[in-house]
């Protein structure tokens, strides 16, 4: 038998496509909430905030070595997107569980 796709899969994937995609996924998910989409919306919000924070710290301090952390943020984004494509509610390493707690209202 063919696997039936979760209706939230599209919204979960859209959430990982830029800030605009995240906003679209959030609005669409508010109309028809699914566990999968909500999970990935929270994950992507956290990833975006981590990336923004690192960028701000780099611009203030001028410490270019922190760019390594930006590569880590990219890796988190890739892992999150792969999870959405595979319809998994698997948190990204290190910070994913925190994102689920902190943004539980989404």
Alpha-carbon gap, residue 61 to 76, rounded angstroms: 24
Distance CA(15)–CA(63), nearest Å, equals 30
> Is the Cβ–Cβ distance between 91 and 40 less than 8 Å?
no
Tell me if 21 sits within 8 A of 44, measured CB to CB: no
Q: Under 8 Å CB-to-CB from 99, ≥6 apart: which residues?
A: 42, 43, 45, 46, 47, 91, 92
So where are the chain's domains? 9-102
Tell me, yes or no, if the pTM score tops 0.75.
Answer: yes
pLDDT tens column, 14-47: 999 999 999 999 999 998 889 999 999 999 999 9
Angle, helices 35-61/67-85, rounded to nearest 10 degrees: 170
Q: What is the pLDDT of residues 45-80, one digit of tens each?
A: 999 999 999 989 888 888 777 788 889 999 999 999
């Amino acid at each position: 038998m063919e696997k039936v796709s979760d209706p939230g899969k599209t919204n979960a994937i859209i959430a990982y496509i830029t800030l605009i995609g995240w906003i679209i996924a959030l609005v669409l998910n508010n109309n028809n909430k699914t566990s999968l989409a909500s999970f990935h919306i929270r994950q992507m919000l956290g990833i975006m905030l981590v990336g923004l924070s690192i960028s701000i710290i780099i611009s203030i301090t001028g410490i270019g070595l922190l760019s390594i952390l930006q590569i880590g943020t990219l890796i988190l984004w890739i892992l999150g997107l792969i999870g959405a494509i595979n319809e998994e509610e698997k948190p990204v390493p290190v910070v994913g569980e925190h994102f689920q707690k902190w943004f539980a209202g989404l």
